[in-house]
Amino acid sequence: MAAIANKKVLLFSTAYKETTPLELVTATLSDFGAYLVTIEYMTPFNQESDTTSSVNTKLSLNLKNKKIRDFVLNEIVPRVDIILESYRPGVMERFGLSPATVHSVNPAVIYVRVSGYGNSIKSIDQIGTAGRDLNYLAASGILSKFRRSGNQQAPVVPANILSYYASGSIYIITILL
């Protein structure tokens, strides 16, 4: 896809391996020629980095450090076309990298937030809840469709292809391409 070729994509990620829709999105964008830069949020508790992805450039930074945040905002953000992040609501605001702040530095950037429950709390049950594929399948009622035949009525835990890949990833890719 010529539309995404040579675009610079900045992914904010955690340093530990996680399965999110952004794995498929970044792999797909890379396949279409985008240049991927990942900033992994490093803390003293997660010092190991995932080196198996198709990222072109990877930086491991502690975004709680103001000098590092200022560097990201003033030196990296102005040079990218797309920003992807999947932190819980409010995290990027605490880092000083909210969409409003980023757009004040780079008005043309496409800022993509991936949040399973949205950016506002709609239910008391969602407060402090990490969204995971199984949570989304259960909340939507789809999990009840994964039953074994015969006497066993407990749901079978499906692979993470429905809510993560079939909905989240495809939606993001469709918008960007």
Q: In whole angstroms, what is the distance from residue 126 CA to residue 117 CA?
A: 8
pLDDT computed for residue 62 by the predictor: 85
Q: Bigger pLDDT: 131 or 31?
A: 31
The pLDDT > 70 percentage for the chain reads: 64
Q: Bigger pLDDT: 48 or 138?
A: 138
**Are the beta carbons of 19 and 46 closer than 8 angstroms?**
no
Question: pLDDT, tens digit, for every residue of 87-116?
Answer: 877 889 999 999 999 999 999 999 988 766
pLDDT band at residue 72, thresholds of 50, 70 and 90?
Answer: very high
pLDDT band at residue 82, thresholds of 50, 70 and 90?
Answer: very high
- Domain spanning 8-118+163-176 has what CATH number? 3.40.50.10540
Q: First and final CA of the chain: distance in angstroms?
A: 7
pLDDT computed for residue 4 by the predictor: 84
Dig out the tokens for 81 from the structure: 């076309």
Amino acid at 39: I
Nearest to 21, CA basis, from 173, 120, 177, 169: 169
The contacts of residue 153 (CB under 8 Å, 6+ apart) are 147
Cα distances from 104 to residues 74, 101, 107, 175, in angstroms, run 10, 5, 6, 23
pLDDT band at residue 155, thresholds of 50, 70 and 90?
Answer: low
Q: Bigger pLDDT: 114 or 80?
A: 80
Using the CB atoms, write b or e for 44-53: b if 16+ within 10 Å. Answer: eeeeebbeeb
